[in-house]
Structure 1
């Protein structure tokens, strides 16, 4: 791998490499090069969240086993002549896996660059995901396993601060009861009193709500389950706050000083909202500006 001034660094690939160039480009004689990424093998604890797409630099290679990944932090360009003597085996076969592999490779290079000031607001949620992702014995980990995607929606498409932001939590199919938009049942008074204060702000922690959902999941009626998941989404959104001693630009970056939450399902999250929102790759949100004043 060339790193400038004629210097080449060799990257060890004990498990081989994955070709990430599309086949249609690979077979064209007019294109003399192709791209590869090294294969790495993770332990079980790290492999599961990586398979779920939590780390955009790691893309699962299913035909090599549950712990094998293409590491996109190191992508190299090779001449096609090396293919003549190379042995190969399929890394992705099923159509669904091929589609997912392509999407996740593409995501690595097309991730939205959130404004630095906004990144600081999302750090508490990032920490939650890092600490609890895949830990099914914890209420938070159990709840996160039911989430298909976390997306951040900006009302004015990031034109100017303060940004009006909504955390869209898209649940996996079958988790949240479905109701017609004009037939959404009212929240039971007992649930509303437990979840929210008089001004409609969630007053219990995300951990408390997740604990109740996990422990009572099999006995909850559909209406209560729906509103408890909604409360959990509001609690996750409420976690997204900048430290009080952050710089003024950080503190003023979000409209009304809060990010709103929106419980969604893959059935009701429209393509238009998908286009106007950005996926939160929480493990790759690293601020580049000083967080604290002075």
Structure 2
């Protein structure tokens, strides 16, 4: 859409014009655009990213950036700035399709919806997740690193609360959902036994992970083509446990934070996009790690 700036309200009756040198994307569905009783529509500016930042954004890692495939691999709708315009503005603008294929249309709509429907995790849980947030941020887009290689095979990170989010302490599980084919899928009753060599390397006598997450990712990347299915499955499980074990609240955190989790830990669960059930999807929340932040007081007169 050939719109080079969009309005942003800064105070009552005051507007700042947000530059949109690459144009803007119409977010409103066509069915709403053509209805005469709905006089407005919504737009967001297009941002161009470099390839390093674009790949994780295309994979849905940043909820504020939604890929616009027909404009190229580096073009994104930036949902940090969404403006409402009157439909009369459309008459003087040149437009083109930014999303054409039905699969892309579905993904585009889902990711716009995700931006505004993200779950607000309890304030006392957020500090526990921050270490994982920092780990992801430090490796995002670096596919040459072992951790970046591993995160590139993750479809989604979801947090599951066993008894719902009614009150603390919460029993939480970090569900790491891998792309189909990364690890074999086994029936629960036919899960092969962990090889002794893998068990001795991964876990101590208390069942805690011994190597760091990066060391486990390094072995997975190095031996990816030679690992047998059973070993690959269990080493990936160890990496998931290591990521979950990294979720530790600061020792100087408020007591309400330190008491927020059952057993003072988040458990890890290795899943694949093939075996993660809809029921678990309904009872878990996606971790948009780049948007985790403590609640701020908000007052509007």
The answer to whether TM tops 0.5 is yes
The residue that corresponds to 2:23 in the other structure is: 16
Give me the TM-score of the superposition, normalised by structure 2. 0.94
Shift of 1:91: 0.3
Q: How does 1:199-278 map to 2 (within 5 A)?
A: 199-278=206-285
Q: Could you tell me which residue of structure 1 aligns to residue 97 of structure 2?
A: 90
Secondary structure of 2:142's counterpart equals coil
Unaligned regions of 5+ residues in structure 2, if any? 1-7, 297-301
CA RMSD of aligned residues (A): 0.9
Which of 99, 120, 125 is 1:118 aligned to? 125
Q: CA deviation at 1:2?
A: 2.3
Structure 1 segments, 4+ long, off by >2 Å, are: 1-4
1:29 alignment partner, SS class: coil
How far has the Cα of 1:156 moved from its partner? 1.3
Residue of structure 1 equivalent to 2:68: 61
Task: Tell me the equivalent position of 2:147.
Answer: 140
Map of 2:45 onto structure 1 = 38
Quote the Cα distance in structure 2 between the aligned partners of 1:171 and 1:182. Answer: 21
- For residues 128 and 234 of structure 1, what CA distance do their matches in structure 2 show? 14
Structure 1: which 5+ residue stretches go unaligned? 290-294
Deviations 1:152-195 (A, max 9, x none): 00011111101100000000010011112211100011111111
Q: Paired residue for 1:176?
A: 183
SS at structure 1 position matched to 2:137? helix
Q: What SS does the aligned partner of 1:200 have?
A: coil
Displacement after TM superposition at 1:227 (Å): 0.2
Query: Which residue does 2:192 correspond to in 1?
Result: 185
Structure 1 position 133, deviation (Å): 1.5
Give the superposition deviation at 1:221. Answer: 0.6
- Per-residue CA deviation, residues 182-236 of structure 1 (Å, 9 max, x unaligned), is 1110001111111111121212110111011010111111100000000000000
Give the structure-1-normalised TM-score: 0.97
Match of 1:79 in 2: 86
CA distance, structure 2, for counterparts of residue 5 and residue 99 of structure 1: 36
Corresponding position of 1:153: 160
1:37 and 1:77 map into 2 onto residues whose CA distance is 9
Deviations 1:212-269 (CA, angstroms, capped at 9, x unpaired) = 1010111111100000000000000000000111111111111111000000011111
What residue in structure 1 maps to residue 172 of structure 2? 165
SS across alignment from 1:48: helix
Q: Which residue number corresponds to residue 292 of structure 1?
A: none
Distance 1:170 1:110 in 2: 20
1:97-108 matches, within 5 Å, as 97-108=104-115
Q: 1:3 Cα shift?
A: 3.0
